[in-house]
Structure 1
Amino acid sequence: MGRRKNLFEVLRKIEVLVYTFTLSCCLIFAACDSDSGTVPLNSSSKDTASNEFKYNYNLLDYYYIDKNLYLGRPEIYLNTATPEEMATYVVPWDYYDIYYMYSQMNDKFTRYIDPSRSYSLFNTLNSSEEKMGAGIEIDSTNTSGKYIISQVAENSPADKAGLKVGDEIIAIEGIEITNDIIFKRLSYAAEGDTINYTIVRNSVPLDFSVVLAPYLSPTVELTFKDSIPIIKIFEFSSITSNDSGTSEEFLDALRQTEKYKATIIDLQDNGGGDGDECIPMITNFLSKGDTAIGIISADRDSIFNRQVFDTAFTITDVDGIAKDRYFVFLANNMTASCSELMLAGILSNKNYPVVGTTTYGKGIGQRYIITPSLSIAAITSKRVVDKNRKFYHKYGIEPDFAISDRELAIEKAVELAKDMNYVRTAGYGSVNTGNFAKTAVEPDTMPGFYFIPKKFSY
């Protein structure tokens, strides 16, 4: 892939090793024995339990927020999983016991990823999708036969070359653009190739050369419908096309729409991401002194080697840039995790309406720990509460207007944004969404045996 690509991979691997060492050091004394404060292995099982198993058992004992309900003695997880069960997911034989132990926890988000898969997951944890191309989008609603740039991804090849939103592309490689087929064929190229664009800006023709290269996709998109701004948030990541992540992308979108009295925030299909990105975004809507959100965290008491809990609330220290604006939110059943956290933090302070369907109901968060074997342990260690200490976990956040059709939902959101009078009356869901728990323990529909997501399987 070229010298630059190889260097990038080397640097990423160094980053993984540094990160591994940093995270592992905080658990270096967490050996699984009778002096650690955890349940010890009996003598008949000690020989069959690997050091990686012991380490991971301790992680669950310290950090899994529901360990009192679901974490049994270590012996019950040893030599229990069958090769037939594991073969379906191509689990390495020496990690059977660890995978089985994690699979018996209460939620599918508490999981184990062995070294053969962990590096690919590590690269996606805090960054948006990497794309290849120029980094431009063309106005899809255009009906006049013109090719006008509607989006330019920040730090993309097109952005670095100087192309801007509103530029009209009239030729590529000197060939006039007369239809979609010509545009698509001339826009296709490989990494390192150069595409020459002729554009019109302020009635002046200009030429730009764009060298195609990988770039991180933006996570926030600003569009308009009937003169109402719609800010779409795709995910919450600390590494995006913007050097400061999703929170800075979102702040830029709020600044660009400051003159508008009403705005739609679209969180449909946003499955969450980095809590350190979405929590600061809540404060943009609030006034100084408002309580944004609370996080209950399970942690390790390093003195007594046992699990302890801490509750921390985020208090807004300055007035938010959009505290006086009217907002309408779009959400659906795939609006989850950080998206729901954002909604709960805002809606417990402001009575803005929500249009769509009841959200997923994921009011929990995970701690990611790299183990000595360079595996990744994802452990549910956090629970979200709003300013009133209310939970929405398992039940989701209900819409004021239940509309499953996307276009109809947007139309209703635009109507509400124009009117700016509707006050939210709905609350958190009253029916279990069925996305969590074991049938044997609670009346939920989710089965109790989990493996890693299939996207990380071979």
Structure 2
Amino acid sequence: MSDNGVSSSDKKTLQNTSREFQYNYRLLYYYYVDQDKYLGEPQDYVDKVDMQKMYEKEIPWDYYDLYYMYAMMNDNFTYYVDASRAYSLLNSLRQSDELTGAGFRLDSLAFPDKFIIQKVTKNSPADKAGLKAGDEIVEIEGVAPTNETVFRRLAVATKGETITYTIKRDSTRITIPVVIDSYLSPTVELSFYDSIPVIKISEFVANTSNDSGTYGEFVQYLRETEKYKATIIDLRDNGGGDGDQCKAMTRALLSKGDTAIGIIETKADTIRKRQAFDTTFEINTADGIAKDRYFVFLSNNNTASCSELMIAGVVSNKKYPIVGSVSYGKGIGQTRWITPSFSIASITSMKVIDKDRNSYHKYGIEPDFSIQDNDLVLATAAELAKEMKFKRIAGYGKTNTGHFAKQAVAQDTMPGFYLLPEEYRKKFE
């Protein structure tokens, strides 16, 4: 970045701050979408914090001003995380939950008196050892499990230990040792409701049990259910994640020439020393693998960010119905930087629009069928999927969801944060 990326009146104060502060101030100056409303001059953030509160939150003293500056940006998705907390946060953003165990699930409903493996998580210890869905476990460490309680006791082990399973596969008994280890959890699950496939997506991340992330899991289930003409996609309680993953998944459901989504993104104009904006639309250059299938989407108040992007991108083209409740209303996106001190800066730098340049930000996406009860949501979605006739008529919300109120962020909404002094909160109310 240019060293002269701020107004001349700010230079003197900026030069008296740390390199880390200067870098982050310029990041906000060039990339924060609302910098014209909330970014003040550098001196507005230097030596202003309640040092005792920062100390109580165990914030390193040389980051006080940085945490305070980011807190005043009126957007809890724009935040700063110092180097001592950055590594764990970065891992959580890039990958699904890390689990420890064998990595398989029993089909207890269909086979209550037997121990039949229903699913083996890809790349889990069980998968690497050779266990498969459909295998019947007849012994653990040479002992036959007589009930579920005995099974669970026999299967207890810590990381690095080995459990030996004897299974029956096609009338053949096979003994398979499984070394207990850590593995990444899946983010997509397939089930069926009244003979209709239901693909549940819990989050969007690049690293999961599948080598291609959430996208890879999703495509796998699309292929497994390709004989079905209709499918339910459940995005309830999905708060979003990796934008590249969800955009790729959106394109898989669209036809060639369809516009998946539009992004208005901030750019740094270091020549004129100002913030610039660039609008791009992602258009399908080829047919998606499920372009001819009928989909029904499920959403609720916690369906946010990338989940909303996926829904808006698909239904604005295909007019598929949505069942549930109005979504969260997060039509913005963030870019994250590793700063000179190896801290993380997350800055809202993008606004999302659909192919018609409409935005759902702050208002959410309205369902065509507003239903709260889980059983009724699934029953309604299944009926719509069977008929494959309904075309979406609802639009975006008309009432502000209140998730982006004009006030500074609340206490503890992000790692290491502190309660802002009342005198500074008041000016945003």
Task: Name the SS of the counterpart of 1:147 in structure 2.
Answer: coil
Residues 90 and 147 (structure 1 numbering): CA distance in 2 closer, same or farther, change over 3 Å? same
Aligned partners of 1:370 and 1:451: how far apart in 2?
24
CA contact (8 A) 1:98 1:112 kept: yes
Structural mapping, 1:361-380, within 5 Å: 361-380=329-348
Picking from 172, 193, 200, the partner of 1:225 is 193
Deviations 1:363-404 (A, max 9, x none): 111110011111100000011000000000111111112222
Report the alpha carbon displacement of residue 311 of structure 1 after superposing the two structures with TM: 0.8
1:18 alignment partner in structure 2: none
Match of 1:97 among 56, 60, 65: 65
**Distance in 1 between residues matched to 2:94 and 2:189, nearest whole Å:** 19
Deviations 1:190-246 (A, max 9, x none): 111111112222333322211111111111111122221111111111111111111
Q: Which amino acid aligns with 2:5?
A: S
What does the per-residue CA deviation read over 1:265-321, in whole Å, with 9 as the maximum and x for residues that have no partner?
111111111111110111111111111101111021243343211111111111111
Q: Which moved more, 1:139-148 or 1:123-132?
A: 139-148
The residue that corresponds to 2:287 in the other structure is: 319
Q: Is the 8 A contact 2:57 2:416 kept in 1?
A: no
TM-score of the superposition, structure 2-length normalised? 0.92
Residues 39, 74 of structure 1: 8 Å contact kept = no
1:156 equivalenced with 2:124 (yes/no): yes
1:350 aligns with 2:318: yes
TM-score by length of 1: 0.87
Retained in 2: the 8 A contact 1:99–1:451?
no
How far 1:455 sits from its partner (Å)? 5.5
Unpaired runs of 5+ residues, structure 2, are: 419-429
Aligned partners of 1:228 and 1:262 also within 8 Å = yes
Is 1:244 paired with 2:212? yes
SS in 2 for 1:175: coil
User: 1 CA distance for matches of 2:70 and 2:145?
Assistant: 56
Counterpart-to-counterpart distance in 1, 2:203 and 2:367: 20
Q: How many angstroms apart in 1 are the aligned matches of 2:91 and 2:127?
A: 24
Matched-pair contact (CA < 8 Å) for 1:118–1:374? yes
Number of residues paired by the alignment? 418
Q: Is the 8 A contact 1:331 1:356 kept in 2?
A: yes
* Contact persistence 1:112–1:452 (CA under 8 A): no
Whole-Å Cα distance in 1 between the matches of residues 273 and 132 of structure 2?
Answer: 56
Letter in 2 for 1:115: A
Structure 1 spans left out of the alignment, 5+ residues: 1-28, 439-446
Change over 3 Å in CA distance of 1:165–1:155 after alignment to 2: same
| 1:383 and 2:351 aligned | yes
Distance 2:254 2:394 in 1: 20
Q: CA deviation at 1:48?
A: 5.4
User: How much is the aligned-residue C-alpha RMSD, in angstroms?
Assistant: 1.9
Residue 41 (1) aligns with residue 1 (2): no
Residues in 2 aligned to 1:252 and 1:77: alpha-carbon distance in whole angstroms: 49
Q: Distance in 2 between matches of 1:133 and 1:40?
A: 59
Aligned equivalent of 2:308, options 340, 345, 365:
340
- Percent identity, aligned pairs only, is 57
SS in 1 for 2:165: strand
Q: 1:355 to 1:151 in 2, by over 3 A?
A: same
Aligned to 1:55, the other structure's residue is in SS state: helix
By how many angstroms is 1:421 displaced? 2.3
Q: Matches of 1:384 and 1:47 in 2, distance apart?
A: 35
- 1:38 is displaced (CA, Å) by 4.2
Distance 1:183 1:457 in 2: 44
Contact in 2 for aligned 1:111/1:452 (Cα 8 Å): no
What code does the residue aligned with 1:313 have?
F
Change beyond 3 A, Cα 1:110–1:196: same
Aligned to 2:229: 261
Bigger mean CA deviation after superposition, 394-403 or 197-206: 197-206
Which of 165, 174, 195 pairs up with 1:197? 165
Equivalent position to 1:418, from 362, 386, 392: 386
